[in-house]
Amino acid sequence: MSESPVTAPVCYRHPSKETYVRCTRCDRPICPDCMNAASVGHQCPECVAEGRRTQRSARTAFGGSLAGRAGVATRTLIGINVAVMIFSVITGGMGAVGGGGWGGLLGQSTPLTDWGSVIGYATYGPGQTELHGIAAGEWYRLVTAMFLHFGVLHLLLNMYALWILGRELEAVLGRLRFVGLYLLAGLGGNVAAYVLGAPIQSTAGASTAVFGLMSAIFVILKRLNLSVAPILPVIVINVIFSFAVANISWQGHIGGLVVGAVVAVILAYAPSKNRNLIQGVGCALVLVALLTLTVMRTAALLG
């Protein structure tokens, strides 16, 4: 009686290929085309896909994605600010580059800054007859102002600070939380400029958001039990500078500083249980508070 020939196992996905390698997870035979290196042995494509679905992705200490380490959001925000500056120069001519305050180092206003800067309630333009400002219904100024600058030097100072501070915060918070912090701090500074400043005062610049990043780094360092020595002198010097130099909106800087700190506390001190929900609700409450202050200020100006 003859024995049946022993056949070699074949790949479960490619029956024409013989193989003696098996998936370490499901034990099915797999050929070289189907092998995926694992910590021990190899796994088949289906087991790799299942592992990706069930494995929790690595997160930062504050619940953010590790993708923030690439600094994409910081670069994008800088790109937006630069693009807006270029458009401002196009609409306003070379006077937008320099020729304003600080001995001619700051640029003059342009049609774009007139359209998007924070201003409470004023008339300007041909004939000085048309009412403009947030109280006149132009609420978009609370957002657009944080991307507008008076001159290239104004832009460069803020973008340098954003580059230094933004990458650090984006790495520890993740992209989404970092962008939320940036926008809320910028909005908070602009609301403060609207509420505390003169109705005819025009302000713009990313410094409202940048001041928020400064205070946020202070909070993050405290939360991680690290020394605040690197950021504390920077905050103190910039606060003094805000009050000592004319034509700087100290209201916007202090507003951004305070709101940035509040948002950072929400993001950094939220308990791990239901962290995303607590962070989201906390940031939403900050937004509601800022909008409430804006409504109250508008009512006071129109009353």
C-beta atoms surrounding 27 within 10 Å: 9
Question: CA 44, 49, 54, 57 torsion: positive or negative?
Answer: positive
Active site residue 57: no
pLDDT digits (tens, 9 = 90+) for 80-89: 999 999 998 8
pLDDT digits (tens, 9 = 90+) for 137-147: 999 999 999 99
**What CA–CA distance (Å, rounded) separates 37 from 29?**
14
Residue 303 CA, distance from chain mean position: 36
Residue 267 is predicted with a pLDDT of: 96
Q: Of 55, 48, 10, 63, whose CA–CA distance to 276 is shortest?
A: 63
When computed from its CA atoms, the radius of gyration of the chain, rounded to whole angstroms, is: 28
Q: Which of 109, 202, 207, 215 is catalytic?
A: 207
Global pTM reads 0.79
Residue 26 or residue 104, greater confidence: 26
The band of 3, judged by pLDDT with boundaries at 50, 70 and 90, is low
pLDDT digits (tens, 9 = 90+) for 188-215: 999 999 999 999 889 999 999 999 999 9
Active site residue 253: yes
pLDDT digits (tens, 9 = 90+) for 57-106: 667 778 877 777 889 999 999 999 999 999 988 887 655 565 555 444 46
pLDDT digits (tens, 9 = 90+) for 114-128: 999 999 988 776 666
For the segment 248-267, the average pLDDT, to the nearest whole number, is 96
Task: Retrieve residue 113's tokens.
Answer: 């800054």
Residue 4 is predicted with a pLDDT of: 52
pLDDT digits (tens, 9 = 90+) for 27-53: 898 888 888 887 667 888 888 887 777
Q: What is the DSSP string of the chain?
A: -PPPPPPPPB-SS-TTSB---B-TTT--B--GGG-EE-SSSEE-HHHHHHHHHHSPPPB-TTS-BGGGGG-HHHHHHHHHHHHHHHHHHHHH-GGGTSSSHHHHTSPPP-HHHHHHSB--SEE-SGGG-SEESGGGT-TTHHHHGGG--SSHHHHHHHHHHHHHHHHHHHHHH-HHHHHHHHHHHHHHHHHHHHHHS-TT--B--THHHHHHHHHHHHHHHHHTT---TTTHHHHHHHHHHHHHSTT--HHHHHHHHHHHHHHHHHHHHS-STTHHHHHHHHHHHHHHHHHHHHHHHHHHHH-
Q: Which of 42, 149, 154, 253 is catalytic?
A: 253
* Neighbour-count burial of 110, counting CB atoms closer than 10 A to its CB (0-12 exposed, 13-18 middle, 19+ buried): buried
Residue 46 or residue 285, greater confidence: 285
Residue 268 is predicted with a pLDDT of: 94
